[in-house]
Each structure stands twice: as C-alpha cells, then as structure tokens.
Structure 1
Amino acid sequence: MSTTLFISDLHLDSARPEVSRALASFLGQHKDCERLYILGDLFEAWLGDDDDSAIARDTAGMLRRFTASGPKLFLMQGNRDFLLGEAFCHSVGGHLLTDPTVIELYGESTLLMHGDTLCSGDTQYQQFRAVARSTDFQKEFLGHSLDQRRIIADQLRKKSKEATSGKSEDIMDVTETSVEKAMHLAGARQLIHGHTHRPARHDGHAGTRWVLGDWATKGWFIEASSTNIYLHNFLINS
C-alpha cells in the first residue's frame, strides 16, 4: 500500500549522534514509501547551504541514498534551519517547500506548516522571526565566513534559550485563532505541523490538527495512506 510519511524537529546535531543513527534506521525501513515530508528543524542549526560540517555531509548522504531508492522527498524550513535552501534540497534529490503549503493527501486537502507562525501569542519570537527571515538579515549573515556564522549562531541560540526559559508553556503553544485562520485561508480541513514538540491529534471546529513530536528520547512520524492516518513513535537508543 502506498504511504506518505511526515517528520519534523529532529534537531540533528553532532552532540546527539543517536538521533542521526535513528534517522538512518528510519530511512532504511521506509524506502518503500511514496513520499517523505520533513516539516522543519531537521537540523539544530543551519549556517547556509555551504555548511561543510560532518553532520551536514552525513545527513546529505543519508537523504541522497533514500531518494535514490525511489521515494520523493520534500523539505520545509524550520525556526532552527530557516537558511535551508534550494541548493541543499536539490543536492539530496529533494524539493524545498514554502511555509505554508497545501497538498492533496489521498483526497484530503491538507495544510503543511512548520508551526512557529501559529504561536502568535509569543510576540517576542514573532518579531525575531520577521527579522531573521528578511532578505537583508540573511544576506548579511551569509556574507560572513562559516566560522563567523558559527559564532553568531551560537550566540543566537544562547539568547533564544534564555528568552524561552522565562516564558510560560502556554505562550509558546499555538493559538486556536491562528490555527483556524490558517486552515480557513488554505481551504483545508486537515493540518500537519511540528515546532511545539507536543505530539497529538486535535479535532476542532476548523478540522483535524496533527502535531509531530521532536526526536529526543523518541522519534515521531505520521504515516498516511488512502485508508487512514496514524501518529507513531519509537524509542531512540542512546
């Protein structure tokens, strides 16, 4: 049976090799799927498509072998890897998606998002996001050497962690108003997203919202077919 898979928030990093191993195993087990969508934050940080780190090279190799076996691959930028570009996606045989994107999922119009724009109550983050996604910011950042970009990225991550530690859990979750608005504008009754690290299925007035989990002690994925859709998890061995 043809299946389509969705994952997000792996936050791949050299400090967590077990997650990279889990991804390699996952890709090997699902080479017979039709499509795989990675809905943002594949990497903990992405310095640009010229990133020459071991984690970048190893992940590219995994994805290249996966697409060579047949499945179609689609990638979306997250809040951690918002500089992921066409060059990287093309190099691994994948396609870069805009956020948001609407697809036809076995007859169901489905909205795909990373999910950070749905957290509209976190105004501080939304202001930062607007700056970070601007052409001027990205042009200036990418103009630095890779070593300089690593230093800047580390500084930004530290500031982000400090800011997050002082926020309530509720303010960092999606707002129902933003969810309903996004689904209405997309004309979709189904939404799949990540970002919040709160895996669940929500049935509401606007339709069904699926939330992917982050890959920490468990790996999470959604499996859809013409007959059903499931949210799965599995243990990640350290």
Structure 2
Amino acid sequence: MTQHIHFISDLHLTQDRPENTQRFLAYLESLSSDVSALYILGDLFDVWVGDDDPTPPNEAVKTHLAKVTSKGVKVYFLAGNRDFLVGKKFFADTQVVSLEDEYIIDLFGTSTLLMHGDLLCSDDVEYQKFRDLTHTPEWQQSILSKPLQERLAMAQHYRQESHLNKANKSMEIMDVNTSTVVNYVKKHQVKRLIHGHTHRPDIHSHIAEGEEIERFVLAEWDHSGSVLDWSEDGYQLIELS
C-alpha cells in the first residue's frame, strides 16, 4: 500500500464559520488507511485562549482528532499565530504531537523544513516584535492565569486590532521576505520548505548556496479545503468542496 502524508494549515476554525468545521471533521472521518501522517502547520483555530475554553468547535475538533490518532494516524501540530496557546491538555486529550516552530522531516528522501510561516514575514517588524513578546513564558503564563471570559474578550480585541493593522499594511510587507526564506533554508540545510500563514498558495523556487530549493505555500481553508498530499510518487493538491 502506498503511504501518503498530508499537510494542511490556516483552517481558522471558529463558531462563526460552521461550514469550515464541518468540512474539517468530514475530512478527518474520510482519512483512508494509506494516510500515515497528518501535519497541521498552524492556525487550525482562529483563536485559542487556553485548553479550558469549551467554545465551539473546540470540543468537537478534539474528539475527532482523538478518533484519528486512536486509529494509528500520526497527527502533528505546529502552532500558528492564532493558536500558539494550545497546551499540554489539548495534546494529552487528542494524542496529537506538538512540533517546534522550525521542524525538519525526511519527506520520502528529501530533507524538508516545516514552519507556520509567520517567522518568514520579517519585513513586518511591528508583528515580529509582538510575536517575540507573546511567545515568552512570562507573557503566556500571565494571560492563561486570567479568567476565561477576560481572555475571550482580549482575544476579540486582538482580532479587531489585527484586522485594522492589516488594512494599513501593504501586501508586500505581510508576505515572506525572500532573503529570510533562504537564510532559514541554509540554517537547516534542507532542500524543501512547506509553510502556510500568508494565504497565498503557490509553489516557489529559490536558490540557496547554488542549489534550487522548493517552497510550498499551503492554502487557507476559506470557501473550500486544501490538502497537500505527498507519496513516494510525488505530490498532489486535494481540494475539498
């Protein structure tokens, strides 16, 4: 049986978009036995304020992920800029494996770097400073110690600010910086990079130390779902209506 590995990102699951949740749950239920691993590269949730938040669709997603992992599918999660507070209880309940921000796999013989993608957008200096702050243990501990309703209100405030900030920034600033991409590729000595975040699905080619490097940008799940399917025969894009 041919082994398949799936990559997805930027589903932004929220109770405001129930059709997206249903699409994801149906996708999980449809996974065939030849899919050995699923890599979720960030922003599975539009917001995550702590593992104690029962706001839909959190519990339904956890239940379905637990069913998938119980069947032997390895599910990996690399946090995005919206759900970096996903914590130990989530991983214990689902048996999903937490990955670091920069994670390398051997993808059918090719060393491949997995990232969410926000670290690649180095031209957005304001965001990078905010990211540095929010990823400190002190900041996270301070936030998670607050009452749930206060955290939810803060998340709503941050979301509104984020939308306003995006409206005042050029698309170039919010996209990846090519030099930063090459630096990460050289740092990890890989031949391929897969990431999401920018919502600009495409396949790019870069030159690092005289070698051609592939960069796959995963699509946002908006009006449809998108899965990058990889096997020993190569890759294909699966669109979920």
Paired position in structure 1 for 2:66: 64
Instruction: Tell me how far apart the structure 2 counterparts of residues 90 and 221 of structure 1 sit (CA, whole Å).
Output: 25
What is the number of residues matched between the two proteins? 235
Q: Identity across aligned pairs (percent)?
A: 38
**Structure 1 residue 85: Cα displacement:** 1.8
Instruction: Tell me how far apart the structure 2 counterparts of residues 89 and 167 of structure 1 sit (CA, whole Å).
Output: 35
Paired position in structure 2 for 1:17: 18
1:230 and 2:236 correspond: yes
Task: Out of 197-206 and 114-123, give the one that drifted further.
Answer: 197-206
Paired position in structure 1 for 2:99: 97
1:40 is aligned, of 35, 39, 42, to 42
Paired position in structure 1 for 2:117: 115
Paired position in structure 2 for 1:86: 88
Show the 5 A alignment for 1:45-194. 45-194=47-196
CA contact (8 A) 2:23 2:240 kept: no
Moved over 3 A (4+): none
CA contact (8 A) 2:41 2:114 kept: yes
CA contact (8 A) 2:53 2:148 kept: yes
User: Amino acid of the residue matched to residue 13 of structure 1?
Assistant: T
Instruction: Tell me how far apart the structure 2 counterparts of residues 134 and 74 of structure 1 sit (CA, whole Å).
Output: 22
1:30 and 2:31 correspond: yes
User: Amino acid of the residue matched to residue 55 of structure 1?
Assistant: P
**Structure 1 residue 217: Cα displacement:** 0.6
1:221 is aligned, of 220, 224, 227, to 227
Instruction: Tell me how far apart the structure 2 counterparts of residues 57 and 159 of structure 1 sit (CA, whole Å).
Output: 27
Instruction: Give deviations 1:169-191, integer Å, cap 9, x for gaps.
Output: 11100010011001111110100
Instruction: Name the SS for the 2:101 alignment partner.
Output: coil
Instruction: Name the SS for the 1:164 alignment partner.
Output: helix
User: Amino acid of the residue matched to residue 11 of structure 2?
Assistant: L
**Structure 1 residue 87: Cα displacement:** 2.2
Gaps of 5+ in 2: none
Instruction: Tell me how far apart the structure 2 counterparts of residues 87 and 161 of structure 1 sit (CA, whole Å).
Output: 30
RMSD: 1.0
**Structure 1 residue 231: Cα displacement:** 2.8
**Structure 1 residue 70: Cα displacement:** 1.9
CA contact (8 A) 2:226 2:237 kept: yes
Report the TM-score when normalising by structure 1: 0.96
User: Amino acid of the residue matched to residue 110 of structure 1?
Assistant: T
CA contact (8 A) 1:31 1:66 kept: no
Gaps of 5+ in 1: none
Instruction: Tell me how far apart the structure 2 counterparts of residues 162 and 226 of structure 1 sit (CA, whole Å).
Output: 44
CA contact (8 A) 2:13 2:46 kept: yes
Report the TM-score when normalising by structure 2: 0.95
Instruction: Name the SS for the 2:57 alignment partner.
Output: helix
Instruction: Give deviations 1:151-206, integer Å, cap 9, x for gaps.
Output: 11111111111111110111100010011001111110100000000111112213
Instruction: Name the SS for the 1:233 alignment partner.
Output: strand
